[in-house]
């Protein structure tokens, strides 16, 4: 594991190309005495074709980091790039298009439309955008996620794990440059959660996708290639080739509740 230092850039940038990066990323909420510094000058590189997990105590800035990297939230200072495109300073319309065309999202709540079949849910964002899915790619995604025999089912006819796999396929359908997953296993029991994580792993290993996942669960983080640890709005450490046990050990150092 690395030794925390000040003013360093976290990520695997020296090993592989970068899918997204942030420099001096700062986000403050509120003003005056009530200001909360959710992100405090974060420098990070998100490696292309890898699975990155973001961990840290509640309120450490994980969701804010994800939202700023994905162009879902504005920044107070600093810069964010998706590949070579600087997204900080973009207008709302441009950002909406960039998110639609280049980023995939998964959330804790699966956010599937109940009246649509799995197949229709998977292609909905592309249908709305008026884009035709690449059928070969879509078939590959559906087979990798094991959804072939579930395509005609509506969400209510699917288990939680299957619903999240549909949400995963929807995130992958447009072959985005980057997939952000915010607690994707938060609503699942451990078996269904492990299944979704192994499909995310397959998306990276077999389909060459790039995934950034926010999680509280050391077991989930153990499926990633790199864990970034946040505390008080800063990245304070990283761990390559993590295991659930090593991540848990590292988390105990943040969380007084875990200290014996
Ligand atoms: N819209 C907002 N308005 C004001 N403060 C906010 C807002 N969103 C987040 N914050 C504050 O910013 C800090 C970081 O929040 P964030 O949601 O990024 O943390 P987190 O690590 O994702 O937490 P959790 O694990 O509990 O989801 C917290 O102190 C939070 O209260």
User: How close is the Cα of 241 to the center of ligand 1, in Å?
Assistant: 28
Report which DSSP code applies to 89. Answer: T
pLDDT of residue 15: 67
Count the neighbouring beta carbons within 10 Å of the beta carbon of residue 157: 12
Residue 179 has pLDDT above 70, yes or no: yes
Q: What is the pLDDT of residues 214-255, one digit of tens each?
A: 999 999 999 999 999 999 999 999 999 999 999 999 988 876
Distance in angstroms (rounded) separating the CA atoms of residues 259 and 160: 33
Ligand 1 pocket: which of 59, 186, 214 to mutate (most atoms within 8 A of CB):
59
HSE, side-chain direction, 13 A CA sphere, residue 68: 30
For ligand 1, atom 28, which residue shows the shortest CA distance? 59
pLDDT of residue 7: 58
pLDDT of residue 249: 92
pLDDT of residue 13: 59
Pocket of ligand 1 (CB under 6 A): 29-30, 36, 38, 56, 58-64
Q: Which domains does the chain have, with CATH numbers?
A: 18-258 (3.40.50.300)
For ligand 1, atom 25, which residue shows the shortest CA distance? 58
pLDDT of residue 5: 44
- How far the first Cα of the chain sits from its last, in Å, is 23
Q: What is the ipTM for the molecules in this complex? A: 0.97
Instruction: Pick the most confident of 65-69, 102-106, 174-178.
Output: 65-69
Residue 69 has pLDDT above 90, yes or no: yes
User: How close is the Cα of 208 to the center of ligand 1, in Å?
Assistant: 31
- The mean per-residue pLDDT over the stretch 112-119 comes to 96
Distance in angstroms (rounded) separating the CA atoms of residues 169 and 200: 10
For ligand 1, atom 17, which residue shows the shortest CA distance? 63
pLDDT of residue 260: 42
> Worst-scoring range by mean pLDDT, 33-37, 38-42, 116-120, 253-257?
253-257
């Amino acid at each position: 594991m690395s030794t925390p230092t000040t003013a360093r850039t976290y990520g695997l940038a020296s090993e592989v190309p970068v899918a997204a990066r942030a420099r001096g990323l700062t986000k403050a909420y509120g003003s005056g005495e009530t200001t909360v510094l959710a992100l405090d000058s974060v420098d990070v590189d998100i490696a292309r074709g890898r699975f990155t997990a973001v961990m840290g105590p509640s309120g450490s800035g994980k969701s804010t980091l994800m939202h700023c990297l994905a162009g879902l939230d504005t920044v107070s200072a600093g810069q964010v790039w998706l590949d070579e495109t600087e997204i900080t300073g973009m207008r709302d319309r441009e950002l909406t298009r960039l998110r639609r065309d280049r980023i995939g999202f998964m959330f804790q709540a699966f956010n599937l439309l109940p009246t649509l079949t799995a197949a229709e849910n998977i292609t909905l964002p592309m249908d709305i955008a008026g884009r035709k899915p690449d059928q070969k790619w879509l078939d590959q995604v559906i087979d990798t996620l094991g959804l072939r025999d579930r395509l005609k089912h509506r969400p209510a006819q699917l288990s939680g794990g299957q619903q999240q796999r549909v949400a995963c396929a929807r995130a992958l359908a447009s072959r985005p440059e980057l997939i952000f997953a915010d607690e994707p296993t938060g609503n699942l029991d451990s078996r269904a959660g492990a299944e979704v994580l192994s499909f995310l792993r397959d998306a990276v290993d077999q389909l060459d996708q790039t995934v950034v996942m926010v999680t509280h669960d050391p077991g989930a983080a153990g499926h990633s290639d790199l864990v970034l640890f946040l505390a008080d709005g800063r990245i304070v450490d990283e761990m390559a080739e993590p295991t659930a046990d090593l991540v848990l050990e590292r988390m105990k150092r943040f969380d007084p509740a875990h200290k014996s």
